[in-house]
């Protein structure tokens, strides 16, 4: 009887776990980056992984580099993990483990029914857990646009505080992050452009002001560059990269 009770408790614990799960994922790896990312995959040496969010959503990711500090990269909408591969290579060259992933219903990640389609916070948290499983001791959350809003949302409700949250042009009206930011306690870096069409400097500053983080920064740049284009295409992209690198280095110690 005692053995049966212990077995039942074990099954219940597995079923009710709050984190993401490595159980019941496909045995074969996700589709190759070359087959779905084209030129963006050139020269990218990645470990492709499946993992699940706490509600069972099947997600795919590409881990680039190695290190005890990881950066989870959350993409925009419409987009997929391919958009982050160039920067994943940059992070890997600096000694970080970069984990780009597809939100549910995007890329190779499985679509979910409507009631769960917007729970992107769970996807970010699952990627955070996966980065730890891949060997990282510290994990940052970084996202652009839709993904920027998603990492703020996730950061506002995680039991284990991330090493830092980096939001590039996340619309403050999306996922109600303007209000959710009050519960973000991790170090916070918000980047945007003065003439961005989806987030105003005033919105970005208000989000940062409301955040509970003790250490928080905001940088507003000229022009209308949005999300990862701040890192890829803007004329001041080297300055943006330097600021992100300084933030990662400071909060990795």
Residue 115's pLDDT band (boundaries 50, 70, 90)?
Answer: low
Domain count within the chain: 1
Closest C-alpha among 73, 61, 70 to residue 139: 70
Residue 28 belongs to some domain of the structure: no
Tokens of 103: 């939100």
Do the domain assignments include residue 1?
no
**pLDDT of 110 over the 60 cut:** yes
CA contacts within 13 A on the Cβ side of 238: 1
pLDDT at residue 18 is higher than 60 = no
Look at the block and give the residue holding tokens 């949302």.
153
Residue 245 — very low, low, confident or very high, per pLDDT cuts 50/70/90?
A: very high
Tell me what the mean pLDDT of segment 135-164 comes to: 97
Q: Give the range among 3-17, 95-109, 117-131, 165-179 with minimum mean pLDDT.
A: 3-17
pLDDT at position 114 is 57
In a domain, 209, yes or no: yes
Integer Rg of the chain from CA: 18
> pLDDT tens digit string along 198-209?
999 999 999 999
- pTM exceeds 0.85: yes
Look at the alpha carbons of 174, 180, 181, 182 in this order and tell me if their dihedral is positive or negative: positive
Q: Mapping DSSP to helix (H, G, I), strand (E, B) and coil, where does residue 177 land?
A: helix
> Cβ contacts of residue 229 below 8 Å, gap of 6+?
none
Residue 181 lies in a domain: yes
Q: Is residue 119 part of a domain?
A: yes
Per-residue pLDDT reduced to its tens digit, 22-34:
569 999 999 999 9
Tell me the pLDDT tens digit for each residue of 33-74.
999 999 999 999 999 999 999 999 999 999 999 999 999 999
Q: Residue 74's domain spans which residues?
A: 47-250
Structural domain contains residue 153: yes
| CATH number, domain with residue 140 | 3.40.50.1820
């Amino acid at each position: 009887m005692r053995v049966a009770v212990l077995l039942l408790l074990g099954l219940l614990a597995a079923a009710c776990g709050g984190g993401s799960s490595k159980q019941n994922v496909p045995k074969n790896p996700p589709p190759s980056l070359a087959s779905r990312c084209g030129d963006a995959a050139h020269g990218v040496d990645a470990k492709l992984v499946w993992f699940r969010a706490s509600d069972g959503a099947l997600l795919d990711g590409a881990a680039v580099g190695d290190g005890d500090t990881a950066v989870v990269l959350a993409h925009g909408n419409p987009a997929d993990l391919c958009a982050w591969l160039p920067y994943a290579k940059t992070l890997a060259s600096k000694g970080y483990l970069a984990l780009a992933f597809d939100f549910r219903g995007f890329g190779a990640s499985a679509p979910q029914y409507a009631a769960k389609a917007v729970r992107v916070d769970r996807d970010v948290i699952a990627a955070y857990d996966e980065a730890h499983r891949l060997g990282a001791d510290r994990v940052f959350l970084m996202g652009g646009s839709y993904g920027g809003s998603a990492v703020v949302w996730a950061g506002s409700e995680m039991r284990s505080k991330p090493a830092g949250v980096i939001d590039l042009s996340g619309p403050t009206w999306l996922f109600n992050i303007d209000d959710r930011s009050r519960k973000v306690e991790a170090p916070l870096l918000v980047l945007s452009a003065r003439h961005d069409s989806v987030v105003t400097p005033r919105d970005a500053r208000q989000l940062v002001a409301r955040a509970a983080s003790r250490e928080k920064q905001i940088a507003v740049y000229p022009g209308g560059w949005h999300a990862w284009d701040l890192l890829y295409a803007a004329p001041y992209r080297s300055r943006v990269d330097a600021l992100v690198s300084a933030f990662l280095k400071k909060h990795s110690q």
